[in-house]
Amino acid sequence: MFMKRKNQYLMGVAVLCGGLFVTQVAQASVTFDSSATLTYTINSITNLNPAHPTDLSALAISGYFDQGVDATNYLLTTTGDGAVVANNPGYTLDPVSSVFGHSFSVSGSATAGSVDSLHTGLFGLLFDNSGSDSYSVDVSLAYDLSAAVDGLFATNSITLDYFTLTDTTIFGATNPLGAYTLEGTLSDIQTLNGVFNNINFNIGALGLESLNANVAVTSTIEPAAVPLPGVVWLFLSGLLGVLGFSKRKKAKHA
């Protein structure tokens, strides 16, 4: 009876060890979360024709947002259960009086898989001059960026730059905002906010101009194996050794 219980006990320990081994190689969940809110503020518009400097009736202003889908602005590679959510419906040419703001968000997760992605949010103001006068425009662009990751191993970065339709040279840009986790670090969150002030440009007669801002979110996540504390393995190996020694001793006395 004693030997039967002893064998059952040994079997139970073996099952426990097997279960812990599976736990050791199991994947831990990894997530990333990014958001960006951009706000354009039209500080002033001046008609450059001295005959009627306050007449702004010929200038129409619209705001728009879209997600880039071309190879330069979009990349998504996943394995296993890796997944990304970037559901930010676009809209075009909504009338703007003085302020235009919009948010862009991207998140993802993986437990037994990986994610490698690039998502770009395209924000803009469009100025359409249907008259014969020229206009001087002063605009500010405020930004609020957030990048967060949780779990090993993950990187998540956001970059922002802006330019105009007639000059695609980068006028302004933020330093890359990055969050990452490495061995010993399980989570990280970084935020950045500020304002680009006094963005000035002229719109000529029958002219078309836009002030564009691109927010690029680049993320890589790949879950790491969950390590089992060494003391647990030491305890189990010692326990099995004791049980084995006890069994040999009993057999010798028999």
Q: Is the pLDDT of residue 55 over 70?
A: yes
The span from the CA of 34 to the CA of 144, in Å, is: 11
Does 151 reside within a domain?
Answer: yes
- Asked whether residue 35 is assigned to any structural domain, the reply reads yes
Q: What percent of the chain has pLDDT over 70?
A: 77
pLDDT tens digit sequence for 169-212: 888 999 999 999 987 789 999 999 999 999 998 999 999 999 99
Query: Cβ distance 142 to 157 under 8 Å?
Result: no
User: What pLDDT is recorded for position 237?
Assistant: 54
User: How far apart (Å, rounded) are the C-alpha atoms in residues 216 and 195?
Assistant: 18
The domain in which residue 91 lies consists of 27-221
DSSP letter (8 states) at residue 225? B
- Look at residue 237 and tell me if it is in a domain: no
Tens-place pLDDT, residues 41-51: 999 999 999 99
Convert the pLDDT of each residue in 109-156 to its tens digit: 999 999 999 999 999 999 999 999 999 999 999 999 999 999 989 999
Three-state secondary-structure class, residue 130 = coil
- 106 assigned to some structural domain: yes
Tell whether 215 is covered by a domain. Answer: yes
Asked whether 16 and 236 are in contact (CB, 8 A), the reply is yes
User: Which residues sit opposite 78 in a β-bridge?
Assistant: 115
107 is a domain residue: yes
Q: Is pLDDT of 233 > 50?
A: no
E strand intervals along the chain? 30-47, 59-67, 74-80, 83-85, 91-95, 99-110, 113-129, 135-150, 154-164, 172-173, 177-181, 187-203, 208-221
Work out how many domains the chain is built from and give that number.
Answer: 1
Instruction: Record the pTM.
Output: 0.77
The pLDDT of residue 91: 76
The answer as to whether 120 is a domain residue is yes
Within a domain: 249: no
> Could you give the maximum distance between any two Cα atoms of the chain, in Å?
118
More confident residue, 231 or 50: 50
